Amino acid sequence: MELSKRLGLITGPLLFLVVLFLPFDLINPKGDAVIAVALWMLIWWITEATSISVTALLPLLLFPILNILPIAEVGANYGSPIVFLFFGGFVMALALEKVNLHRRIALNIIKITGTTPNKVVLGFMIATATLSMWISNTASTVVMLPIALSVINLLIHDADGFTKKDKNFALCVMLGIAFSANVGGVATVIGTPPNSVMIGLLENEYGIQISFLKWMVMGLPFSIILIGITYMVLVKWMYPSTGLRFTASKDVVQQELDKLGPTTGKEKQVLIIFAITIFLWIFRSLINNLLPNLGLTDTMISIFAAISLFAIPYKTKHKDFIIEWKDTSRLAWGILILFGGGLALAKGMSVSGIVDLVATTIAESDVSILLTASLLILLMLFMTELMSNVALVAVLAPVVAGIAIGLEIPILYLLIPVTMASSCAFMLPMATPPNAIVFASGHVKVSEMAKAGVLLNLISVVLLILVFQFVLPHLF
């Protein structure tokens, strides 16, 4: 075990005990107990002393023992509707991957965008971002990486060898895939776990609901703009490959499509269920207006999709289903527990008075709203380079909500851009799984990722401040 993990394993519970047995109150006995648990979780999350999902189980054990909340109330957070919204999303992602539909979609997008070097980079970025809206950013990157490496290998083995322009192209493709995987998830509610932690907090604590469509109206344009800027920064400024010519990439894409063969019946069935689900998500409010007794929610629609994939046979005689329960061994169960742990921690902060204290403190201070929002976005974005973004949102979201209350602005105005900032980590390989995966390819150096990443981080901060200042007041 690494030294940092060993230290974290000991420091977490030690800090918990120190705060718990302080001879004076930091807030109040219950508030101090919540802070102690939060510090333990934070240390374990930062050092990854144990799985981040195991750490998320601590409130289930400690909150009842410390009389913060009874176990039934803590446990309810692990079965929140948001957890099941993501469960359905994960099942849909499993189906896409099982029938190889995600790969077919990605290859066709690359084929459409063209085969000049810059267009190939753009194709990979659009394809990765499109996948990342529906399946995990890690899975999106894993799908795209072998296709990208096949194209790069053509340049390595061509007549002039692996030139500076070739290296720049390889770098742009790799960074483009990683960065698009990160940003693409911002476009939808189910695209990235931090979104769900925030939406769960809003529903559980404040009774505020954000529909799939409403999020997409804001999230999709943000993703498109940031991916466009990322593309320009990479291919036009940081690592240009002007003058590079190759046509063989078209052959590679076609070969990969040929391997998949014609679209299968199972792919078509998944596509139909997927299309119906997205249709229901987008037009849910309209359907509820027409049929008020139906009471459709995004979670119900997500579960409908999951059940359909398990229960509608492809061939009735053979009982051949798209997804079987054994396939769920690959489901991200740990992430679902992580959501629950984050929501439980938020509940603890709320009932113990921590959120109220933050709100009162901010209300009594003469703080500029814009400056506060800017600093919180900056803090979240650069902290997410060093620790799990979903764990970070789980800890900071309730505090940010308290700050919004203190500033007397709608909670959404502050919480949404701060949460979105957690998905904009471009600087370091350890910041997100996509960054780590492309770094492991050997075509990207830490210095090269950091050089482009710092600039993109700062651009993201500016964009998110603009979202806070000009977009959210018109949407919510």
For 97-130, write each residue's pLDDT tens digit: 899 888 888 888 888 877 678 888 999 999 999 9
DSSP state of 263: P
**Domain range summary for the chain, segments of one domain joined by +:** 82-330
Neighbouring CB atoms inside 10 A of 36's CB total 22
Percentage of the chain lying above the pLDDT 70 cut: 96
Model confidence over 52-78: pLDDT tens digits? 889 999 999 999 999 999 999 999 999
Compute the average pLDDT of residues 355-383: 88
- What is the pLDDT averaged over residues 65-93? 92
Q: What integer pLDDT is reported at residue 432 of this predicted model?
A: 85
pLDDT of residue 219: 95
pTM of the model: 0.86
pLDDT of 75 reads 95
Q: Side chain identity at 347, as an amino acid letter?
A: K
Residue 132 in 3-state DSSP? helix
Residue 165's pLDDT is: 78
pLDDT at 11: 95
pLDDT reported for residue 246? 62
Burial of 436-450, coded b for 16+ CB within 10 Å and e otherwise, reads: ebbbebebbeeebbb
| Per-residue pLDDT, 252 | 77
| Mean pLDDT over the full length of the chain | 89
The arithmetic mean of pLDDT across residues 184-197, rounded, is 91
Encoding tokens for residue 68?
């913060």
The four Cα atoms 81, 298, 105, 314 give a dihedral, to 10 degrees, of 80
The pLDDT value recorded for residue 338 is 86
Task: Give residues with Cβ within 8 angstroms of 417, minimum separation 6.
Answer: 373, 377, 464, 465, 467, 468, 472
Lowest mean pLDDT among 145-159, 173-187, 200-214, 385-399: 145-159
* Alpha helices per DSSP H over 365-445: 369-383, 389-407, 411-421, 433-439
Q: pLDDT confidence of 248, banded at 50, 70, 90?
A: low
Contacts of 232 (CB under 8 A, 6+ apart): none
Average pLDDT, stretch 297-302? Answer: 91
> Across residues 118-145, what is the average pLDDT?
91
Say which range, 75-79, 413-417, 437-441, has the weakest mean pLDDT.
437-441
Averaging pLDDT over each range in 97-101, 180-184, 341-345, which range is the top one?
180-184
> Residue 47's pLDDT band (boundaries 50, 70, 90)?
confident
Of the given ranges (64-68, 70-74, 84-88, 420-424), which has the lowest mean pLDDT?
84-88
Checking if the pLDDT of 156 tops 70, the result is no
Cα separation, 371 vs 368, whole angstroms: 5
Q: Residue 302 in 3-state DSSP?
A: helix
Asked whether residue 2 carries a pLDDT value surpassing 90, the answer given is no
C-beta of residue 80 within 8 angstroms of C-beta of residue 341:
no
